[in-house]
Amino acid sequence: MLRRIHALPGVVLALGLTVMALTGVALSVQPALDRLASPAIPVGTSVAALAEAVAARHQGIDSIRVRPDGAVTVAFTDGETRGVERVDPATGAGLGPYHVSETTRVITNLHRAFLTGDAGRAATGAGALAMLVLTVSGTLLLARRLGGAGALLQSIRGTPAQRWHGELGRFAAAGLVLSSLTGAWMSASSFGLIPEHEAAAPMVSASGGAPAPAGTLAALRATDVASLLELTFPAPDDPTDTYGLRTSRGEAQIDAATGAELSFTPATTLDRLNGMIRTLHTGQGAWVLGLVLGLSAAAVPVLGATGIAMWWRRRAARPRIAMNAPARAADTVLLVGSEGNSTWGFAATLHDALTRAGHHVHTAAMNDLQPFSAVTERLLLLAATHGDGAAPASATAFLSRLARQERRVPVAVLGFGDRCFPHFCGYAEEMLAALTANGWPQLLPMKRIDRRSAQEFAQWGRDLGTVLGHDLKLEHVAEPPKTVALELVEREDYGVAVGAPVAILRFRRPGTDGKAGRLPSFEPGDLVGILPPGHPMPRFYSLASSSCDGMLEICVRLRAGGLCSTFLHALAPGDRVEAFIRANPTFRPAAGRAPLILIGAGAGIGPLAGLVRANAAGRPVHLYWGGRSPSSDFLYEHELAQHLAEKRLTSLQTAFSRGPDGGAYVQDRIAADAPRLRELIRQGAQILVCGGRDMAQAVTWALDPIVRPLGLDLPTLKSSGRYVEDVY
């Protein structure tokens, strides 16, 4: 629902709101410029003194006005010459004619009415309301994505468009709410939707005596220029006319002969509110606020562009399901619950594979669950989880619809999510719990797919095939990658003697030295996807180098029967692979000088070694690594020794499972180092873990008792980005 009111309306309104925002940005600097250009209005100068000083220079004065932009202007008549000039409020000296530049005028009219009349004003008013709705709904969406309102300031993960959209959105939200609320109010006021106070001043009769000099009038002497809005002078040919004195307090009529206050109409609360809203919207007289609002508005074009990119991507990701069987004829019902559409891509692959295997498959959104027919044999649920573990938009009504089913069929649940989030596959788990509690038989144990892993999906497909009694090959390519050719330059082999061959492989773009192509841009910890020949599904490896190093380095363990690792281990210098980069922004050292604790085992040292190599600034970095044997698979041994000497690496703790001292694992070193690690974490250290899942699990068990005394736990560190994993 939230997304429905945010995404498409945002796309449709992006252009108009961009015009309003950019003109708003241009206008927002005006108060600061005015502040520099206009002399400050001094406290302690009376209106009478200013009026007298001004009157001395002109034959006739119509009015003295303090404009919202801070300029004090005088409208005067000298014979046939009429004009408006700026004056110094302290001395009344003329500062030249007052005029608003044509540029400012056009920008203002573009901002408030798209250069048209009332129709344009109505459009900008509606635009302001739309901006308010977009800002509020966007903030709620972001909070939901990050795991609740309390998590709103945490780091945002995702594609560059998603990150920019989220970062700028939360940066600008407060300013945009203020601008759009006040703008909508001003628009409503301009159309008379908000009652305007126009209490007519009472008709009074002036004494009719000879006008006294303005400087002698008591009521004007008692009023400070700092509180003045406008002073109108009596018409020269009308002895019954009075001075009109308007201040923030209200409006007074002053007798031109006696200086007595003949009437006073106090400003109403609504008057004050209107004035305050005007200041809050324009920043006139509050130049800092103006600049802040301008900065917020400057984010709008980027929010529009990234929003359109996200919307387009989501649209493009929704696949068309070919040969979708009607629910009454389907033996297999496949339901998808997904906030975005990536899960639909997996569903389409599954649907296709099952159909080819002879099944009649009905694929639909979870909320579209229909009563099972007599031929329905099984239910497959593909459920993505949003940040805080809430039900995806297309699954909100699912559980209640499921409860109405008369027949129960075996069900398999496949959860999609991101292990980095605290509620990994939370919705899928919740659904499974509800199914189990209501006595639904399980077709397969639930499986979780981390970050759209095609491999994990394929594995689940094999398991499903086994249960169904036939082969089920799921080759899902989330987004067909654009690959580049890479050429192996050199390789270092380790671990053969201990039965665990690991190779450090270094690639570059093919071509002779001077003409070698440029590597795509990457950093240690990013992923390289490698397509084994003849297979569309990439395998991902963590990068051990940055593109600045001039080569692409990975560390690959040979797995028995592993298609891609076998292929890579068979490469000789000069051989080529097809590869592409996938950024892994979650696995990065946080900015700053806080210590880094790097923990890894086996080939997981690759990205960690890359991070150490990139640490030219000498930030404190402590590396814990576990291998098998110091004589056979001590990866990066010499390079790490050099980094220690050059202070890129502060300390190195190694553990070898087949070491001379009887064998130890990296988690043993962590447990043994508890006091030091606790102190580092207390100083704000960030922990990066890379390696196999078992190792990562053992590390969390070892670390948990270390951080507990600090009042912390690993989920907290994880959600604040201080504990990040790259686990396979």
Q: Is the Cβ of residue 63 or residue 154 nearer to another protein in the bound state?
A: 63
The answer to whether the beta carbons of residues 262 and 204 sit under 8 Å apart is yes
Candidates 36, 43, 44, 80; binder of another protein (CB under 8 A) is 80
Identify which of residues 112 and 170 has a Cβ nearer to another protein in the complex: 112
Cβ atoms of residues 334 and 413 within 8 Å: no
Give the nearer residue to another protein in terms of CB position, either 165 or 246: 246
Helix (H, G, I), strand (E, B) or coil at 500: coil
Q: What is the rounded CA–CA span in Å between residue 70 and residue 88?
A: 11
Coil/strand/helix, residue 334: strand
Please identify, among the stretches 237-245, 347-355, 423-431, 592-600, the one whose residues bind another protein according to the rule CB under 8 A: 237-245
DSSP state letter for 726: E
Site track 167-196 with another protein (rule: CB under 8 A), x = hit: -----------------------x-----x
CA 340, 343, 348 angle in degrees (round to 5)?
Answer: 130
Neighbours of 723 (CB within 10 A): 24
Q: Report how far residue 529's alpha carbon sits from residue 538's, in angstroms, rounded to the nearest whole number.
A: 5
Number of helices and strands (H, E) in the chain?
Answer: 20, 24
Q: Does 406 bind another protein (CB under 8 A)?
A: no
Q: Is 493 in the site for another protein (CB under 8 A)?
A: no
Q: How far apart are the first and last CA of the chain?
A: 36
Q: Quick one: which of 8, 149, 199, 238 contacts another protein (CB under 8 A)?
A: 238
Q: Nearest approach, Cβ of 190 to another protein (angstroms)?
A: 7
* Sequence-ordered list of residues with C-beta below 8 angstroms from that of 473, at least 6 positions apart, any chain: 353, 458, 461, 462, 465
Q: Which of these segments, 142-150, 234-242, 459-467, 672-680, binds another protein (CB under 8 A)?
A: 234-242
Least spacing, CB of residue 258 vs another protein, in Å = 19
As a residue count, the chain comes to 728
Identify the sign of the CA torsion 606, 609, 613, 616.
positive
CB closer to another protein, 13 vs 229:
229
Nearer to another protein, 198 or 513 (CB): 198
**Residue 82, interface with another protein (CB under 8 A)?**
yes
Rounded to a whole number of angstroms, the minimum distance from the CB of residue 233 to another protein is 10
Does 661 sit near another protein (CB under 8 A)? no
Which neighbouring-strand residues pair with 552?
507
Complex with another protein: residue 242 or 586, whichever CB lies closer: 242
Quick check: 425 and 460 in contact, CB under 8 A?
no
Q: Which of 198, 406, 513, 661 binds another protein (CB under 8 A)?
A: 198
Position 691, amino acid: G
The residue from 11, 84, 122, 357 that contacts another protein (CB under 8 A) is: 84
Assess contact for 65 and 315: CB atoms under 8 A.
no
Written as one letter, the residue type at 441 is P
CB of 16 to another protein, least distance (A): 21
208 binds another protein (CB under 8 A): no
Closer residue to another protein (CB): 234 or 532: 234
Q: Choose, by CB under 8 A, the member of 20, 25, 49, 75 that binds another protein.
A: 75
Is the separation of the CB atoms in 504 and 552 below 8 Å? no
Using CB under 8 A as the binding rule, whether residue 455 contacts another protein is answered as no
State the nearest-atom distance from the C-beta of 235 to another protein, in Å: 7
Q: Which of 1, 153, 203, 645 binds another protein (CB under 8 A)?
A: 203
| Least distance (Å) between residue 208 CB and another protein | 14
**Cβ neighbours of residue 165 closer than 8 Å, sequence gap 6 or more:** 303, 306, 307, 310
Q: How many CA atoms lie within 13 A of 594 on its CB side?
A: 18
The tokens for 695 are: 């190792």
**Cβ neighbours, 10 Å, residue 290:** 26
Residue closer to another protein by CB (options 82, 462) is 82
Shortest distance (Å) from residue 422 CB to another protein: 54
Element spanning 671, H or E: helix 666-672
Task: Kindly tell me which residue out of 200, 437, 570, 591 binds another protein, with binding defined by CB under 8 A.
Answer: 200
Closest contact distance (angstroms) between CB of 84 and another protein is 5
Pick the binder of another protein from 18, 62, 95, 399 (CB under 8 A).
62
Q: Which two tokens stand for residue 93?
A: 């000296």
Per DSSP, the three-state class of 145 is helix
Q: Measured from the CB atom, is 223 or 274 closer to another protein?
A: 274
Tokens of 523: 């950093």
685 phi/psi in degrees, rounded to 5: -60, 150
Question: Nearest Cα to 148, choosing from 447, 426, 435?
Answer: 426
Nearer to another protein, 99 or 462 (CB): 99
Residue 77 or 279: which CB sits closer to another protein?
A: 77
Q: Specify the residue, 200 or 617, whose C-beta has the smaller distance to another protein.
A: 200
272 binds another protein (CB under 8 A): no
Which residues are within 8 A (CB) of 719 and not within 5 positions of it... i.e. 6 or more apart?
147, 151, 154, 421, 422
Rule CB under 8 A: say whether 83 interacts with another protein: yes
Closer residue to another protein in complex, CB, 97/209: 97
Measured from the CB atom, is 202 or 684 closer to another protein? 202
Return the structure tokens found at 377.
């044999």
What x/- string results for residues 87 through 126 when contact with another protein is judged by CB under 8 A? ------------xx-x--x---x-------x---------
Cα separation, 335 vs 324, whole angstroms: 12
Least distance (Å) between residue 255 CB and another protein: 15
Dihedral (Cα; 420, 422, 426, 427), 10-degree rounding:
-90
Q: Which stretch binds another protein (CB under 8 A): 81-89, 361-369, 403-411, 550-558?
A: 81-89
Beta strands (DSSP E) in 418-472 are 447-450
For residue 601, list its beta bridge partners. 626
Binding mask of the shown chain, residues 296 to 325, with x at each position contacting another protein by CB under 8 A: ------------------------------
Residues touching another protein, count (CB under 8 A): 24
User: Which residues of the chain form contacts with another protein (CB under 8 A)?
Assistant: 62-63, 75, 77, 80, 82-84, 99-100, 102, 105, 109, 117, 190, 196, 198, 200, 203, 232, 235, 237-238, 241
